[in-house]
A and B are shown apart, each in its own frame.
Chain A
Amino acid sequence: MYAQMVKSEPRDESVESKAFQARIDAGEKIEPRDWMPEGYRKTLIRQIGQHAHSEIVGQLPEGNWITRAPTLERKAILLAKVQDEAGHGLYLYCAAETLGVSRDELTEMLLDGRMKYSSIFSYPTLTWADMGAVGWLVDGAAIMNQVPLQRTSFGPYARAMIRICKEESFHQRQGFDVMMKMAKGTPAQKKMAQDALNRFWYPSLMMFGPSDKDSVHSAQSMAWRIKMNTNDELRQKFVDQTVPQAEFLGLTVPDPDLKWNEDRGHYDYSEPDWSEFYDVLKGNGPCSVDRIETRKKAWDDGAWVRDALMAHAEKQKSKVAAE
């Protein structure tokens, strides 16, 4: 999941808005040409836009390892995965565009800091084991959030999520496969796997956003069914699913207070350092500056290609018109 702390617009109390809410409560999908409250539209642009940006920026930490993958097969697999992320970004930008914003506007808002991407991608990927941890934990956390979003109220968003979820399974499994190899490898490889888990555990927990008691935007978004579960619900589900997987790998989750709670039927776990989370969101993560600079460079360096293709299309059009 790639949308955190999406600011929700307030609901208005008009007759139309009440009828709109009734449609959502009845489980109907909202389509781009349907009437919708301005707040719903604005909140969705923020959420889908942030989600799209995260897919695109999310290519960078993994792109970092394409040229250094340990085998040709691993390289081809990683390349295919990063290619999927680009596709996911495009599905989502198109879904956002049905709400009346252009992709260029969204890109500009990412580059000038008006829009965010997920905090997780502001962390560096230091070793090959990080490719395992990212697939296993980061994509695992994303799936946790995206599966319920397949039932979200906005049709184009829900349909994009269905396509994306189909592809995410490959991502998580390839990550776990890398992790298994490393965890069952030489002592040095196992150490790398443990180190990757140590560094990615808490940032992965942060992906679900702040604790419910501090999550100020949830109620309206949940009423609109553009957020399907609370942050803590999903985080708990993720912990419950992931801890046995870590045990299978023979790795230790870096949380001394982690333990199974028989009464609750869930693991008790330590919260991440939320001051770090807010700091990363403000753009002070270890790689925050680098990520945006890289995106900006790609955008600027690609300008002549976009212009040239447009000029070519115009030229072809005038040729056909002249015939």
Chain B
Amino acid sequence: MSDTKSQQWPLWEIFIRGQHGASHRHVGSLHAPDAELAIKHARDVYTRRKEGVSIWAVPTTAIAASNPDQKGQLYDPSDNKPYRHPTFFDIPKEIGGM
């Protein structure tokens, strides 16, 4: 066996648009030698039952991700800003939807 690591195809993250008008959503990942084959493989792996109308393939290494350890620091500040939610304000029923 030669060096298996160097022969492994790069990893791609696959995003599928489920229906017209919807956003692409992440469905999983796969290995492929290039972008064209990544999309072909994604078609075979993730849309065998017509799950989508469009595929995006993004090299995994191109994805920047937030650090899970920073969860508190990133999201806790919203805890004391309940006024960002419309239900914070008591609007009388007779005013109708607002």
Contacts and interface: CB of A to CB of B under 8 A. Distances in A.
A159 B54 CA distance: 16
Contacts of A84: 84
Interface string B57-98: 000000000000000000000000101111011111011101
B54 A31 contact: yes
A158 interface: yes
Contacts of B92: 248
Contact of A169 (B83, B86, B95): B86
Interface size class of B (residues with CB under 8 A): 10 to 19
Interface string A59-86: 0000000000000010011001000100
B91 A173 contact: yes
Contact of B21 (A29, A174, A177, A244): A29
Given A29-B20, A159-B23, A176 B54 contact: no
A233 B94 CA distance: 23
A118 B36 CA distance: 44
A174 B54 contact: no
A28 B95 contact: no
B98 A158 contact: no
Interface of A: 28-29, 31, 73, 76-77, 80, 84, 140, 155, 158-159, 169-170, 172-174, 176-177, 241, 244-245, 248
Interface of B: 20-21, 23, 54, 81, 83-86, 88-92, 94-96, 98
26 contacts: A31-B54, A73-B83, A76-B81, A76-B83, A80-B81, A80-B84, A140-B98, A155-B21, A159-B23, A169-B86, A169-B98, A170-B84, A170-B85, A170-B86, A170-B88, A170-B89, A172-B98, A173-B91, A173-B98, A174-B83, A176-B95, A177-B91, A244-B96, A248-B92, A248-B94, A248-B95
